[in-house]
Amino acid sequence: MRKLSRADEAIAAFQQRLGIVSGLGPPARREYPSTITEVPSDPRERRHSTGLMRVNHVGEICAQALYDGQAATARSQRVRAVMRHAATEELDHLDWTRRRIAELGGETSRLGGLFYATSFAAGAIAGALGDRINLGFLAATEEEVSAHLDRHLASLPESDRASASVVKQMRNDEARHAQTARRAGGLEFSGLTRRLMRAGSRIMTTLTYRF
């Protein structure tokens, strides 16, 4: 059997993730973090929770795209393994956020495909720049996502304990992945790079909260 090249792997990963973008992702391997499914009774609070979870769902689509792009161009098998492990574990996040959006009576974003494509390209560029930059990009991304999830926890309505449980588990996973990348030798990014990352994140969150 012919061994798959990096290009073959990248194409296969892209095709698989298109299924995720269209809502056909695999079911979570771990248990749903919340034992309750209640939704806020106030329509405004329910819409706000839905918007936040829609942002988080697209954020996980972006994460899958970043990991795939980074793995496709990583220079070592060790780094590719780090990316694929994080991607596999965070597939649970996709399923959890999609499920919570449905419980809230909402819909996932229509912009998932757009942000998948741009994130895949960013990940591929990071991977091509070398393993330390690649791992550093993973760590910086996870750290920014952890901070973003902390802000969501503070913003969620007090009555929405189910969404809070999901977001807390996601935040814990993101923080652990950041630590793994740092221990593997990830480069510490400059303040300017992080500000640029935050600017890109703000564009995504602003659009997907509503659409």
Q: What is the pLDDT of residues 45-90, one digit of tens each?
A: 999 999 999 999 999 999 999 998 998 899 899 998 888 888 888 8
- Number of other CB atoms surrounding residue 34 within 10 Å: 21
Give the tokens for residue 94.
């996709």
Q: What is the percent of the chain where pLDDT is above 90?
A: 72
- Number of other CB atoms surrounding residue 14 within 10 Å: 16
Quote the mean pLDDT of the chain: 91
Q: Cα–Cα distance between 45 and 66 in angstroms, integer?
A: 31
pLDDT at 1 over 60: no
Does CATH place domain 6-19+40-210 in 1.20.1260.10?
yes
pLDDT at 4 over 80: no
CA–CA distances in Å: residue 165 to residues 36, 40, 53, 78, 114: 9, 14, 12, 32, 28
Q: What is the pLDDT of residues 94-151, one digit of tens each?
A: 999 999 999 999 999 999 999 999 999 999 999 999 999 999 999 999 999 999 999 9
Q: Cα–Cα distance between 117 and 130 in angstroms, integer?
A: 21
